Structure 1
Amino acid sequence: MSLYSKRGVSAQKEEVHKATEKLDQGLYAHAFCKIYPDYLGNDANWVNLMHADGAGTKSILAFLYWKETGNIDVWKGIAQDAIVMNIDDLLCVGIHDNLLFSSTIDRNKRLIPGEVLEAIISGTQEFFDEMKTYGVGIHYLGGETADVGDVVRSIAVNGTMTARWPKKKLITNDLIKAGDLIVGFASAGQASYETAYNSGIGSNGLTSARHDALHKEYARQFPESFDTGLPEEVVYIGPNRLTDMVEVAGYAATDVGHLLLSPTRTYAPLMKILLEEHFEAIHGLVHCSGGGQTKCLKYLPAPFRIIKDNLFEPPVVFDLLKNASGSDWREMYQVFNMGHRLEVFTTEAAASALIAAGESLGLQGKVV
């Protein structure tokens, strides 16, 4: 059994898929998100979508870093994580404007004061304001903030995003065909719309990342930060403190905390360009989130064989995690994105134009 499984989590979410297998799968079986008829407008040429996701256990890392350093700004990154895990999934069906967002924050009030809530909520609006400058309109419709200390140990930050969208502008993955190339866009580095180096960690696999990287002292100091029913041998087994410094080639040195807490990169500014200027060249889109580099296998319209033989060099954060945990490469590539999160299925003729669009925003892209 893998360390990931021993910690009570699953990269492939088999039990979740089994629990939902009898639900309506929507209008397009291979689309990255479920797409439904236009129940809101009752127009056969439009569709409705609703998506729910969140920052997951990354909020526990923010809690630890905030307690250790007093840096309240890390909570703004958690706000971005909860948003991007929604919007970047919806980008993969072609939606890039006029989105509605509602946040859901559950906290243990004894441990999470109002200043943390303020940082998360203000961070949410700041992210929306930034995306608006790139032509991506997201409307913040409030949400629910609940004090439920008997339910959550620290805080859970989630959100729901919805949209009404014309059918003719959808990406359903039904056009993916044999011979297509996959253009991947890097999850790490510093895009033109980012203010610092992004490690590329995203918001998946953070349970393992936290326990693999961090020292056992965190278990003793912050028992509220983990499931105390877990076997001790899988709890905080790493060598690192959050404030330990790490060298990143080509960028200023940073610490372990910032590597693990890098806000999940959004590809919204890039996808705005690709979907408006290169729509016909896009045969399919996949967001390599849960399931890492195996995610694409779930969204193929036929039993194709996918060959990824030109992947990105794993960013430094994944080397750190592999060295700390001793995990094999197979598990690493199933749990983490390992260097790119956005995949565009396209033709050989169009690939260079898509890559150039990424370069205009400081996003490295290549045929993977």
Structure 2
Amino acid sequence: MTRSNRVPDGYKASGVDIAEADAGLRNIIARVTATWPKTGFGAVQLPIGYFANVVDIGGTGLALCTDGVGSKAIVAQMTGKYDTVGIDCVAMNVNDLLCVGAKPVSMVDYIAIDRADAAVLDGIAIGLAEGARQAGVSISGGEISQLPDMVKGFDLVGTAIGTVALDRILVGRDIVPGDRVIGIASNGIHSNGFTLARRAFFERARVSVDHVFAELGHPLGEELLRPTYIYVPEILEILDKIASVKALIHITGDGFLNLPRVAAEIGFIVDDLPAPPPIFDLIEEHAGVERAEMYEVYNMGIGFCVILAEHDADSALAILKRQGRDARVIGYAVADRTKSVYLPQQRLIGTGKRFRPE
């Protein structure tokens, strides 16, 4: 595809304006942080911006986060298959809890739907239960709201809690140059970037969910609905057995630009990435976006990262292999006050929310 066919900022053109959302978020943060107790029971331990937060509950750290499946729900509607998006809802939450060093415990869900459909709700519940089983958590409650005037189809969101010792909260404060970044494989595009993916396939390429691309070998809808991996068992084992873990990073929206969401003034050179699964090349081709934007939006085949001391990398990889995960050292930390991410294989440098050519 020629450069003239490329769409500048294709995600924004698809209807998702990240910059405007960030501006709104700044206003929200200013207001909600005014509610925080300064000390004692209920004191909030972290600034907003990490994957989850932690509240002091009488000396115990209660970790909390919330997330949903986004417009992956629309693909579920298009295929008529609802029994996997619940896994995604659990995954997006429990994986975020892991990033502050917490052990996930329980979650609640919120389903907004245009009209109650018992079969659809049962399908969602099947996925929620399977996700909870994989994560070792309970689904302790939830809410169903019928909103025909507001919702077309359904939306699925969860809120999860976990526990972490107050002196063991992970935020990447101790990362030093030379620490290794282990990348753990994703299961496709997981639960981010679906607005752009849907635009690429269903508007620009004008294919259906039943279309079989030769590169995939199976229906497009099946590929898009691959459930987000839940990394709880292997990460909890790593936390239990390896003392030098410095940070845990869930590679979601913003892709590898999630790596600098740590307290240390540190950058990352990510120089040994595996080839992205074919779904990403297909999105890039049919959306008409630059490769830089793909790395801003998608996980590109790596769903979770562990940052730890170099001498413990092999031990962590052995745990991941035993747990059935495909993982490798993909890079390392470097001194960098700009907290940039360098992708030499792709000739990209990322700072803030953007990658640019070298």
With the length of structure 1 as denominator, give the TM-score of the two structures: 0.79
Q: 1:52 to 1:31 in 2, by over 3 A?
A: closer
1:247 shift after superposition: 4.6
1:271 shift after superposition: 0.9
1:31 shift after superposition: 4.7
Q: 1:356 to 1:334 in 2, by over 3 A?
A: same
Q: 2:259 — aligned with what?
A: 296
Aligned with residue 4 of structure 1, among 4, 11, 14:
11
Q: 2:22 — aligned with what?
A: 14
Q: 2:103 — aligned with what?
A: 96
Equivalent residues of 1:239, 1:324 under 8 A apart: no
Q: Deviations over 1:166-186 (max 9, x none)?
A: 224432221212221111111
Q: 1:127 — aligned with what?
A: 131
Equivalent residues of 1:281, 1:346 under 8 A apart: yes
Q: 1:206 to 1:89 in 2, by over 3 A?
A: same
Bigger drift between 11-20 and 171-180 goes to: 11-20
Give the 3-state SS of the residue equivalent to 2:149 in structure 1. Answer: coil
Aligned with residue 58 of structure 1, among 50, 72, 79:
72
Q: 2:193 — aligned with what?
A: 205
C-alpha distance in 2 between matches for 1:324 and 1:210: 10
Equivalent residues of 2:256, 2:295 under 8 A apart: yes
Q: 1:320 — aligned with what?
A: 282
1:19 shift after superposition: 2.7
1:11 shift after superposition: 4.8
Q: 2:301 — aligned with what?
A: 339
Aligned with residue 80 of structure 1, among 58, 76, 87:
87
Equivalent residues of 1:31, 1:171 under 8 A apart: no
Considering fraction of residues, name the structure with more strand.
2
Aligned with residue 311 of structure 1, among 261, 273, 288:
273
Unaligned runs of 5+ in 2: 1-7, 37-43, 331-358
Equivalent residues of 1:107, 1:154 under 8 A apart: yes
* Letter of the 1:159 counterpart: G
Task: Number of aligned residue pairs: give it.
Answer: 311
Q: 1:179 to 1:244 in 2, by over 3 A?
A: same
Equivalent residues of 2:256, 2:299 under 8 A apart: yes
Equivalent residues of 1:32, 1:172 under 8 A apart: no
Q: 1:105 — aligned with what?
A: 111
C-alpha distance in 1 between matches for 2:281 and 2:250: 22
C-alpha distance in 1 between matches for 2:261 and 2:167: 23
Q: 2:245 — aligned with what?
A: 282
C-alpha distance in 2 between matches for 1:31 and 1:290: 13
Higher RCO structure, 1 or 2 (CA under 8 Å, sep 6+): 1
C-alpha distance in 1 between matches for 2:91 and 2:150: 25
Q: Deviations over 1:206-232 (max 9, x none)?
A: 111111112xxxxxxxxxxxxxxxxxx
Identity %: 26
Q: 2:122 — aligned with what?
A: 118
1:16 shift after superposition: 4.2
Equivalent residues of 1:31, 1:173 under 8 A apart: no
C-alpha distance in 2 between matches for 1:3 and 1:149: 30
Q: 2:211 — aligned with what?
A: 244
| Runs of 4+ that moved beyond 4 A | none
1:20 shift after superposition: 3.0
1:290 shift after superposition: 1.4
Q: Deviations over 1:127-178 (max 9, x none)?
A: 323x2xxxx5312112100110111111001111123432244322212122
* Letter of the 2:28 counterpart: T
Equivalent residues of 1:95, 1:165 under 8 A apart: yes
C-alpha distance in 2 between matches for 1:205 and 1:317: 12
* Letter of the 1:238 counterpart: A
1:170 aligns with 2:180: no
Equivalent residues of 2:255, 2:296 under 8 A apart: yes
Q: 1:152 — aligned with what?
A: 151
* Letter of the 1:61 counterpart: V
Q: Deviations over 1:231-265 (max 9, x none)?
A: xxxxx11242211224568xxx3211111111111
Q: Deviations over 1:184-207 (max 9, x none)?
A: 11103xxxxxxxxxxx21101111
Q: 1:36 — aligned with what?
A: 55
Unaligned runs of 5+ in 1: 67-73, 189-199, 215-235
Bigger drift between 329-338 and 236-245 goes to: 236-245
Bigger drift between 237-246 and 352-361 goes to: 237-246
C-alpha distance in 2 between matches for 1:209 and 1:318: 9
Equivalent residues of 1:355, 1:365 under 8 A apart: yes
With the length of structure 2 as denominator, give the TM-score of the two structures: 0.81
Equivalent residues of 2:14, 2:199 under 8 A apart: no
* Letter of the 1:271 counterpart: I
Q: 2:178 — aligned with what?
A: 179
Give the 3-state SS of the residue equivalent to 2:189 in structure 1. Answer: coil
C-alpha distance in 2 between matches for 1:106 and 1:283: 38
Give the 3-state SS of the residue equivalent to 2:82 in structure 1. Answer: helix
